[in-house]
Amino acid sequence: MDDNTLPDNTPVSILYIGTRMPEESLSQDSGIIFNACTDVTAAVASAHRPDIVLMDPFPSGGRSLETAAEWLSAFNKKKFRFPPALFIIVPRNADQASALEFLGAGFDEIVELPVSAREIRLRAGIYLEKNLIEQKMSSGESSLKRAFEYLDRFKLEVKQLKTELMDEKNSLNAALKQVQQMTDERRRLKESLAGLKENLTLNMEGFGQILYSLIRRRVETNQGHGERVARIASFIAKELGYDEKKLDDLRKAAMLHEVGLLFMSGPPCKAKAEKNGTEEKPDINESAGSGPAAYDKTLMLQYPVKGAELLDQCPGFEDSARIIRSLNEWSDGTGYPDGLKRRYIPMPSRILAGADELESLRDRKDIRDTESLLKALEELAGVRLDPVIVGWLEKYVVSHLGGDSFRVRGVRVEQLEPGMELGTALFTATGTKLFTSNTVLTREAIDKIIQYNREYPVDETVYIKV
């Protein structure tokens, strides 16, 4: 080994303990950091850690092997993390047994004077390399220790996490059981609610049938009036896009719209007959002294309100009650009970009023054919009934009630020709009447229809007499 084998070519730090000065080359060599000390106690107390401790216990002054042992013991008592290499200088005439004794006592190398710096460096190389390996091993052991400590902490954290996960799992299982129980309970409640709903529906139907049976027995002069009103109202409502719930409410209102007549004073059938007569609409503000006839007519005007008050107390009939309440509101605003006008009257009430009026007109003695029925309907447009509803009623008449004696066919606006005769009145979508029934179309009339259709669309189908 030469001096180039030293790690990183670092200088060798030597501490000499003794009274003799070794070769000057030790202190003058640039690769050696040399310090000398005559007292081992001072050397041990020094904070500096040398690479090599060069002990010289055998000067000519007469120190002995015991001195060497004392110095060695003193250095061993100081706990170096990385102990320096201990070299001992022995006399040149020392025998091999003595040398082995020094090595057995704990010295690393035996040196004889004179000694050169090169020899010291060569001998120190292996110890410096050993020291470097020990430092690396110590660093590795420290890293390994930290790794094991981290692993222990990690294992502890994993154990704690496992415990927490187990607790959460148990909580989740308990929650899932509760959810399952709640789901089962919800299913049972849903089934129970479905049963109650079905029973309620059946009860409502039964109650409605009971009321309608009373109406048929005590009120209706023309049996099946409520059913026919329901068919007419359903026809219009379907054309207007009503959903099933609204249709059902409207059908119930149509069947039971005369329930208030059950509470009229006097025979209900007589009141019903007056309702279907040709008298003028009574003024509800007439004085009490106007006589029994005016009193009966006033009650006739009020019977939808009385019926609505009854039905409003029955679960499932509240919406139907609201429809019936406004049955006697007139399109011109002169109706009862609130004097509502045109678009402020609920649409279902307008439909029901139209269906009821159509059925009442058919019972009148002066209505003998389809043509007179259509004419009577037109007279109600804008006064008693919403013109839009009148338009739908006329369509119902010609499509369901016309018969062979009144034949019509439907054409589009662009198919109209001069000389055609209208089978029904022609309204715009906003309710404006353009022409009455029986009008014979001219070119000017057709142009007017086309012009209106661009801005205010008319009915898609125009009914022409055949």
Q: Which one of 325-334, 429-438, 457-466 scores highest in mean pLDDT?
A: 325-334
Confidence of residue 24 (pLDDT cuts 50, 70, 90): low
At 383 the pLDDT is 93
Cα atoms found within 13 Å of the Cα of residue 31, Cβ hemisphere only? 18
Condensed to tens digits (0 to 9), the pLDDT of residues 31-64 reads 778 888 877 777 777 767 788 888 888 765 455 6
Phi, psi of 90 (to 5 degrees): -115, 160
Residue 250's pLDDT is 94
- Residue 404 identity: D
- Where b means 16+ CB within 10 Å and e means fewer, 394-431 reads bbbbbeeebeeebebebeebeebeeebebbbbbbbeeb
User: Is pLDDT at 436 greater than 80 in this prediction?
Assistant: yes
| 3-class state of residue 418 by DSSP | coil
Non-local (6+) Cβ contacts of 444 within 8 A are none
Task: Provide the pLDDT for residue 319.
Answer: 93
pLDDT in tens, 99-111: 777 888 888 888 8
Residue 1: pLDDT band (50, 70, 90) is very low
Comparing C-alpha atoms, which of 65, 352, 99 is closest to residue 228? 352
Q: Which residue has the higher pLDDT, 219 or 427?
A: 427
Please give the pLDDT value at position 245. 92
For residues 304-308, give the mean pLDDT: 91
Give the mean model confidence (pLDDT) for residues 132-157.
87
pLDDT at 230 over 90: yes
Phi, psi (degrees; rounded to nearest 5) at 118: -65, -45
DSSP result, 309-330: HHHTTSTT-HHHHHHHHTTT--
Residue ranges with strand state E in 173-271: none
For residue 10, give the DSSP letter: P
Mean pLDDT across the stretch 232-244?
93
CATH hierarchy code of domain 3-135: 3.40.50.2300
Residue 206's contacts (CB-CB under 8 Å, 6 or more residues apart) are none
Q: Does the structure show a pLDDT above 70 at 305?
A: yes
